[in-house]
Amino acid sequence: MNELEFHLKKTSLGWVPAVTSDKGLCWASLAPDREQALFLTNGQYPELSLHVARKVSGRVSAREDWVHALAGAVDQPGKRWQAPLDLQGTPFQQAVWKALQGIPAGSVWTYGQLAQHLGRPRAARAVGSACGANPVPFLVPCHRVVASNGGLGGFGLGLAVKRVLLEREGVRY
């Protein structure tokens, strides 16, 4: 059984709604308040009952540990946070997301460099699309990928958030 569960965690950048399965984190976003967090999650997972998971008998579940790691990656993106991931995507997206996890904190690659790394040197735009489809942008650090023209490129949670995450890793943009 791979039951989905909703979690909500406050961070320094806002509220992080997250969805977990039995296997790991499936999806996360960022919202300025609880209501927007619920709205974003409902848009992504309309079938999910949006009741925040509660501690059972005072213990913290493994899923709550995963969400804690996720929130830690928001507040301290340069630190190595680990949690199992249960990401759904095409084989190309999966390859991009795996490669993103290998980009060291405090460094940036261009979309073209990432495409080259994947053996697909002409796939920079496809790499950008895969980054945009990243369901857990804090643990799969797509904020570390920038445009070849020196610009920030894109980021699903907004360029202001991308800039903050990079600055927290010591990268000025």
Torsion of CA 128, 133, 135, 137, to 10 degrees: 20
Using H for helix, E for strand and C for coil, what is the string for 19-36?
EECCCCEEEECCECCHHH
Catalytic choice (8, 136, 142, 146):
142
Q: Which candidate, 106, 97, 149, places its Cα nearest to that of 127? A: 97
Q: Does residue 26 have an active-site annotation?
A: no
SS3 97: helix
Residue 76 contacts residue 53 (beta carbons within 8 Å)? no
Active site residues: 142
